[in-house]
A and B are shown apart, each in its own frame.
Chain A
Amino acid sequence: AQSVTQLGSHVSVSEGALVLLRCNYSSSVPPYLFWYVQYPNQGLQLLLKYTSAATLVKGINGFEAEFKKSETSFHLTKPSAHMSDAAEYFCAVSDRGNNRLAFGKGNQVVVIP
């Protein structure tokens, strides 16, 4: 079964600094990968997705992620953090057989002024 590992439940970043959230996946077949963002008491919103086209994927709000098969990784980055980036971020991998998503435990991002 597919699975995702996100290390570091809480990530603090200074305003204007690089945001880097790590995601490593386990999959027996080429995966589909997703990053979602969740603001307090809301549902999840799709940031970006990798579906075997370009390995560097650009998403909303200035985020991007790079698929690296050799490292089984799909890390999320943003060059310059903004206060509005404070939220929880989830990486997910799709099971191609039945449309199920396996989610990581999430990273709570705190932006320090």
Chain B
Amino acid sequence: DGGITQSPKYLFRKEGQNVTLSCEQNLNHDAMYWYRQDPGQGLRLIYYSQIVNDFQKGDIAEGYSVSREKKESFPLTVTSAQKNPTAFYLCASSIFGGNQPQHFGDGTRLSIL
């Protein structure tokens, strides 16, 4: 079955440490997205990519970085510059086009030790 795989499910970070969250899709989608979810805040867009080797900042990109070297993969790095990284992170993908729904992975929960 096609889908989006996020790993790991749970991740712990020490102060001053960078961590990378993995997102892989086998849906052959062009567009991929990273969201951050905090209780009562809904989903906020961190970065998105509409094509390989290109990506754009979302609403809360500070302290995060991404790469898009392959169509199937869109890893997110949470850098030490992100002062409040504890959250649930969701990756999504879609066919390009505003009427196309986004498909979501099952998320990674990041916590600070």
**Residues of chain A having any CB pair with chain B under 8 Å:** 9, 32, 34, 36, 41-46, 49, 51-52, 90, 94-101, 103-106
Contact = CB atoms under 8 A, between A and B. Distances in A.
Contacts of A49: 99, 101
Contact of B97 (A42, A43, A46, A99): A99
Contacts, number: 63
Interface in B32-81: 33, 40-45, 48, 50, 56, 58
Interface residues of B, number: 30
B31 interface: yes
A104 B40 CA distance: 10
Given A98-B50, A103-B43, A105-B40, A43 B104 contact: yes
B42 A103 contact: yes
A44 B104 contact: yes
Contacts of B40: 9, 105-106
A63 B99 CA distance: 19
A15 to B, nearest CB: 25
B78 to A, nearest CB: 18
A34 B98 contact: no
For the complex of A and B, 8 pairs with smallest distance between CB atoms: A43-B104, A96-B98, A51-B99, A105-B42, A94-B98, A103-B42, A103-B43, A44-B104
Main secondary structure, interface of B, reads strand
Contacts of A104: 42
Chain B CB count within 10 A is highest, among A96, A98, A104, for A98
A90 to B, nearest CB: 6
Given A43-B104, A44-B104, A106 B99 contact: no
Contact of A43 (B44, B45, B90, B109): B90
B86 interface: no
Given A90-B43, A98-B50, A105-B40, A42 B98 contact: no
